[in-house]
Structure 1
Amino acid sequence: MQIHMNNHERMLKSLQMTEMDTPLSTPCNIQICEVTCDSFRIMWDMTPEDTARATHFFIDLSRKESRNPNRFKHRDVPTKLVAKAVQLPMAVRGHWFLSPQTEYCVAVQTAVRQPDGDYLVSEWSQVVEFSTGDYAMEHLQQLLDKAKGSAGRLLKLSVFYRNQHPDYFDFVRSECGGLMCPALKDCSGSHGSPINGKLHGVFFSCNTEFDTAYHYVVLVLAPIGSEGDTFCRTRLPMLDLASNPFLTYTDPQGPGEEPLYYHASDVILELLFTEPVHLDQGAVEQISGHHQLMSLTTANAKKDPSCKVCNISVGR
């Protein structure tokens, strides 16, 4: 009887060792869902045997290489995550400083932790690419609150201007019937802005002198009921044109009087108007002041991630 029990124990131990040594299958059919600016959920297919055995998941995440890297590149952080096996899909948030509107590559392994502390691991899955989303309204509100703190006193505004080369205005007259047509917003400013690469508009600058201004603020002006208005209502915080710290408007007080505009003095303020603007609504002439913005000087310019005024923390 004693011999029989020992043989049985040896058989059980042999079966256990065989099961532990059985290779794990490679995860397949990787799926990414519920993507936000700072999180995502991931799932993949495993055999029932591997699902029962797996104790841990290894996830390897990296930014997709860009041909035009941001010169203000964030410091790289460890890309591999070891997580205890959970029911899929698995939420990934906070383990990395995920950036919005950024392309990533991800691959996974399944693993079984063995008694000696080592891991039996599967082969890496195929690499899947995905892009994180735009800032949510709550993030934009945080940026707005920071911008309000930098706005400074209001100065009277005499002109909205487009500092373009004369050839641009000649082209508008000859080829566009005098209409300055909306163009697609570039990727400058906040990397997670929901208007980057999605909203069309005509840019105007407000400041003619800003020797000490450093921070940019972009306001979108969209007529009620317009396509731009519909786009922005669910994506951007709304400001009151009569009482906000960046740009105010007051109706003419009497016949022959002009409306009054005031702009924030301590930020570089730009206005994106979502409808065409005819040259006849203004004048093509030289304006006075120092450091007027050239329209292309800020094209696709990224803000400095070390600036505590212009950045918010997400995914932490």
Structure 2
Amino acid sequence: CELTDSLSADSGIGDVDDLPVPQQIRISNITCDSFKISWDIPDSRGRERITHYFIDLNKKENEKENKFKHKEIPTKLVAKAVPLPMTVRGHWFLSPRTEYTVSVQTAAKQPDGDYAVSPWSEIIEFCTADYSAVHLNQLLQKAEAIAGRMLPFTVFYRNQQKEYFQQARDAQCRRMLPSVKDNSGSHGSPISGKLQGVFFSCNTEFNTGKPPQDSPYGPYRFQIQADVLFNQNTNVYFGDFYCMYTSYHYVILVLAPAGSDGDAFCSGRLPALDRANNFFLRCSEESDGSLSFRHAQDVILEVIYTEPVDLSLGTVEKISGQQLLSQSTVNAKKDPSCKICNISVGR
């Protein structure tokens, strides 16, 4: 049963009664915005008097416990004493990939509307899950709605400080190695803190058709022909859609060579895109056998390539523009109030 009610702080809560205390709290079927909860009531004394369950849920970082204390909290969850396990969904607007604590007490509603309650159970900790495929597809549809027309491009590029490329050159492998994606973007994206890759950009300036001369990541730029990373052997996945309290939006795509570890990670976790026919990044074969490439005009694409990239396959040059540090997305937080890039579950 998923029927729940709110308990006002003005509602009467009687002194602790001889009602049985829930034991062996169990959490199961965890998603990004719901979970199932069950427990045992080994003491039969008072069991027949139970009419409701009170459930207290807090984010783990909250050190102050928000129990049922008169006038101190506006609302708490009250559930009728239905068969267990009971599904808890949406009442607290649960956030994905967030640690929570939960405890339970039994209650008996009195004729005057007050409640007699048991002591609180033990406190259990659990963590909500990443976005599911259903949620990611909702996010994908929102991104598709604003992607705009497609513009041609010929190179992927990566900006960094001079030291980054120098260290890569000095290393024996002379490659840019994959690193774990940070926690920027949607909190529920399955790639954050898990997927390894090398970040690239491909957006071009409308008036020149070339990469912009400004960058938030560094004054040195590695450029590589698009077909080296993106070709008929490359699978494309949608990873995220977000903004950072600004008018422009970011879309994260993953390019994974077929059969690679990155491809195995993305398959089943992320929505796969048709490389020749999607709203963000296209690779099309021309009549002469050559490949042409296009990117969406109205979003900023962040492309993660899941394999190491040899520096000898491209060039490193200093750009003439400025470092726009305000546009950096490193560990950037998504705007939870944006109606364009948020879905109905947690942020």
TM category (shorter chain) comes to 0.7 to 0.9
- Give per-residue Cα distances to partners, 1:118-177, cap 9 Å, x unaligned: 211011122222111111111111111110111111111132111100100111122251
- In the alignment, is residue 44 of structure 1 matched against residue 39 of structure 2? yes
Alignment of 1:52-201 (within 5 A): 52-65=48-61, 80-175=76-171, 177-201=173-197
Of structures 1 and 2, the larger Rg is shown by 1
Partner letter of residue 282 of structure 2?
Answer: T
Give the partner amino acid of 1:235: R
Q: Figure out how many residues of one structure are paired with residues of the other and give that number.
A: 284
Match of 2:340 in 1: 309
Contact 1:103 / 1:130 at 8 angstroms: preserved in 2?
Answer: yes
- Give the superposition deviation at 1:308: 0.9
Tell me the distance in 2 between the aligned counterparts of 1:220 and 1:200.
Answer: 10
Post-superposition CA distance 1:189-231 (Å, at most 9, x none): 1111111111111110112448997110011111111111112
AA aligned opposite 1:298: T
Of 237, 247, 264, which residue of structure 1 is paired with 2:281? Answer: 247
Return the match for 1:204 from 200, 203, 213: 200
Instruction: Confirm or deny: 8 A CA contact 2:17 2:118 kept in the other structure.
Output: no
What is the TM-score normalised by the length of structure 2? 0.75
Q: Distance between the aligned counterparts of 2:24 and 2:330, measured in 1?
A: 39
1:23 aligned partner, one-letter code = D
Contact 2:49 2:108 (C-alpha < 8 Å) held by counterparts: yes
Alpha-carbon distance in structure 2 between the residues aligned to 1:232 and 1:151: 22
Question: Equivalent residue for 1:18?
Answer: none
User: Using the alignment, how far apart are the partners of 2:168 and 2:294 within structure 1?
Assistant: 29
Report the alpha carbon displacement of residue 296 of structure 1 after superposing the two structures with TM.
Answer: 9.2
Compute the displacement of 1:45 (Å): 2.0
Return the offset for 1:92: 0.5
Summarize the Cα distance change of 1:32–1:222 in structure 2 as closer, same or farther, 3 Å threshold. same
Task: Decide which of 296, 305, 310 is 1:273's aligned counterpart.
Answer: 305
- Normalised TM-score (structure 1): 0.82
**Alpha carbons 1:164, 1:295 under 8 Å: kept:** no
Q: Is the 8 A contact 2:19 2:47 kept in 1?
A: no
Q: How many percent of aligned residue pairs carry the same amino acid?
A: 60
Moved more, 92-101 or 293-302: 293-302
Aligned 8 A contact 2:275 2:281 in 1: yes
Q: Which runs of 4+ in 1 moved over 6 A?
A: 210-213, 290-296
Cα pair distance change 1:278/1:294, threshold 3 Å = farther
Cα 1:79–1:198 change in 2 (3 A) is farther
Code of the aligned partner of 1:284? V
Q: Find 1:237's aligned residue among 257, 271, 294.
A: 271
Is the alpha carbon distance of 1:195 and 1:97 closer, same or farther for their aligned partners in structure 2, counting shifts above 3 Å?
A: same
Higher helix share: 1
Give the counterpart letter for 2:339 in structure 1: K
Unpaired runs of 5+ in structure 2? 1-15, 64-72, 207-211, 213-245
Please say if 1:27 is aligned against 2:61. Answer: no
Partner of 2:331: 300
Structure 1 unpaired stretches of 5+: 1-20, 68-76
Q: Which moved more, 1:212-221 or 1:55-64?
A: 212-221
8 A Cα contact 1:206 1:263, kept in partner: yes
How far apart, CA to CA, are the structure 1 residues paired with 2:247 and 2:39? 50
Supply the distance in 1 between the matched residues of 2:83 and 2:250 (Cα, whole angstroms): 44
